[in-house]
Amino acid sequence: MMNARLITLGLIGFLPLAAQVAPVALPEVTVYSPRVANQSAAASFAMPVSSLRFEPRVDIQARNLTEAQADVTIRGGIFENTGFRLGAVTLSDPQTGHYYAEIPVAPMMLGAPEILTGADHALVALNSTVGAVAYAWRPVRTAGVLSFAAGDHGMNREDFYEGYVSDAALFGERVAADVSWGRSESNGAVAFGDSHFDRVTARLQLAGGNSQTDLFAGYQAKFFGWPNLYTPFNSDESENLETLLFALNHRVDLGAGDFFEAGIYHRRNKDDYAFNRFAPLGPVHPFQHTTWVTGAGAGGRRDLGALALNFHGEILSDDLHSTSLTAGKFHSRTLAKLAVVPEKSWSLDGGARVVAKAGATWDHSDRDGSVLSPVFELAREQATGPVQRIYASYATTTQLPSYTALNSSASSGLFRGNPDLGRETSRNLELGLASALGGWNLEAAVFHRQDENLVDWTFKRGVTARTANAVDVDTTGAEFVARKSWRAFDLVIGYTVLTKSPDYRGAAVDASFYALNYARQRLTAAIVARLGREFEVRLDNAARIQAGNLLRTTGGDRAVISSLGLAYRPVALPRTEFTVLVDNLWDSAFQEVPAVPAAGRQYSAGIAYAW
């Protein structure tokens, strides 16, 4: 099987070398990330998380579909270490980081995801320790897309987007708006793995030459089932999620790298989880939670002459109502962050410059006090030459545990919490560079991170529950991303290597669901081959050597996961695209989350019309 995979990869790589024809570009509104080949999955409409499935610097650990429930990890962190930024604010779900990626926004409204780590992450992300996925609001343009698809397991999908830029002006800025609607359903790749998703979004935008204001409202409903969805006890579980988001964001670019951005948002997330989806529920569902979060943030950069000032501030207030998370000390809190990082630069010969940043962040909570953390970075930058940037950075970040960890009973139930879990701290030291050489764009970094009081969920033989335990863990690693485009061929390669050293401080732990569920080595390759004027092959691949875990029952610790797409755009119908998409091409049984069955191979065929 491995030889067949390598031969397939080789053929896809060879064909465009002979083709050398004019590219057939996708409509701009349907390209969500240039670092992946397939912009959506086979069995669902596209969500913001879809473009992260094969992102070189992100590892996805999915249950059922990525679009159903996905833990997003960066550099060997866990799902709750990763922040999600939307414009000027960090989105949050205080119940659990499993729902951080529940963002009811159509990807057509967002720019490509930016992965923030080190000093960049420490400056702008609230309540996350390892990294953040940052989305900017995309300018509206007059364009639209309507698509339909159907596939195996009874899958069908419909998706619509329309953007319009009017001639009207308000406050000297043009008025624009866009709307989107999406729906998908499937019986699932395994028994009782069915899903049904709906999303509707709308946005009003004011935009000028250097500023943009976005007012957004979105609603998303998701039902999905899966055996062993969250527990390793052979139960058919299900989840019903409803997410509502309102957001207002304003950004103005001031020139020469200076900018100011501010935003506010309100998010409500309702979660109805069933350990046994067929059990009588009675008058009260045993695992039903609703969270509310209201947040605001502002930040930017300003040149003051002798130095420049990088600054960012955020505050959020949350509240939890739950039928089961009732054992903790509180169910509401306020979090705040202030970052002030001055920047000084010196010019060198040949157009290069040295940039030094040194500052601090202040994190506060009305439930857990305050902490001051340092941020340092020293970089050499140059617009021309083989190395554009080389840097060294050190940053400390902190976060507080979720309510599932704090408010679950410590002595009974499927999830055992601990109300005394405290602030988590992460110290990150890294060296990196960005280079352009021979037509290649290259990024590389080596890093060492010390996590203290990291909240992990662990397993002990003989205990029918998962338990929240604090762990100290050192992570050392390196990552590399290379990208190059030819006339008929695009290639993005990523490679990450990690080692970990954990200390559970004497806690009874036989296995880890998250902190020790990581790839020791992971190689990604996104390939787009334009075969003639009308055909395009899109292939995403992720090969991994996973750390051993006794909870992983099938699929072993080595896997190759691929997604293959074929697009046909006839010359006679230039606005129409026919597609065939296969996810999990090799039908791998690898369990991305230990004990959670893998989704099997899935096919779909679709048609899209853009205008």
Task: Check residue 10 and give its pLDDT.
Answer: 35
Provide the β-strand partners of residue 72: 60
pLDDT tens digit sequence for 306-318: 999 999 999 999 9
Amino acid identity, residue 361?
Answer: T
pLDDT tens digit sequence for 36-76: 999 999 999 999 999 999 999 999 999 999 999 999 999 99
Q: How confident is the model at residue 11 (pLDDT cuts 50, 70, 90)?
A: very low
N-term to C-term CA, the chain: 42
pLDDT tens digit sequence for 70-116: 999 999 999 999 999 999 999 999 999 999 999 999 999 999 999 99
Residue pair 336/344 in contact (Cβ under 8 Å)? The answer is no
**Is pTM beyond 0.75 here?**
yes
User: What is the three-class DSSP state of 18?
Assistant: helix
Task: Check residue 164 and give its pLDDT.
Answer: 98
H-type alpha helices, 33-178: 118-124
pLDDT tens digit sequence for 562-610: 999 999 999 999 999 999 999 999 999 999 999 999 999 999 999 999 9
Task: Check residue 209 and give its pLDDT.
Answer: 87
Question: What does the DSSP 8-state code read for residue 47?
Answer: -
Domains and CATH numbers, the chain: 2-610 (2.40.170.20)
The string of DSSP letters for 440-491 reads EEEEEEEEEEEEEEEEEEEE-TT-SSEEEEEEEEEEEEEEEEEEEEETTEEE
Top pLDDT among 27 and 367 is at 367
Confidence check: pLDDT of 226 > 50: yes
pLDDT tens digit sequence for 419-475: 999 999 999 999 999 999 999 999 999 999 999 999 999 999 988 889 999 999 999
Q: How confident is the model at residue 26 (pLDDT cuts 50, 70, 90)?
A: low
H-type alpha helices, 26-172: 118-124
Task: Check residue 27 and give its pLDDT.
Answer: 61
Task: Check residue 283 and give its pLDDT.
Answer: 73
Residue pair 129/399 in contact (Cβ under 8 Å)? The answer is yes
Q: How confident is the model at residue 28 (pLDDT cuts 50, 70, 90)?
A: low
User: What is the three-class DSSP state of 21?
Assistant: coil
Confidence check: pLDDT of 126 > 60: yes
Among residues of the chain, what percentage have pLDDT more than 70? Answer: 95
Task: Report the alpha-carbon distance of residue 118 to residue 132 in Å, rounded.
Answer: 10
Q: How confident is the model at residue 4 (pLDDT cuts 50, 70, 90)?
A: very low
What mean pLDDT do residues 220-225 have? Answer: 98
Q: Is 42 exposed, middle or buried (0-12, 13-18, 19+ CB in 10 A)?
A: buried
Task: Report the alpha-carbon distance of residue 164 to residue 530 in Å, rounded.
Answer: 30
Task: Check residue 186 and give its pLDDT.
Answer: 97
What mean pLDDT do residues 533-560 have? Answer: 95
Task: Check residue 7 and give its pLDDT.
Answer: 31
Distances (CA, A) of 195 to 70, 100, 191, 504, 517: 14, 19, 11, 37, 26
| Per-residue three-class SS string for 276-319 | CCCCCCCCCCCEEEEEEEEEEEEEEEEECCCCEEEEEEEEEEEE
Confidence check: pLDDT of 19 > 70: no
Q: How confident is the model at residue 253 (pLDDT cuts 50, 70, 90)?
A: very high
pLDDT tens digit sequence for 476-498: 999 999 999 999 999 999 999 99
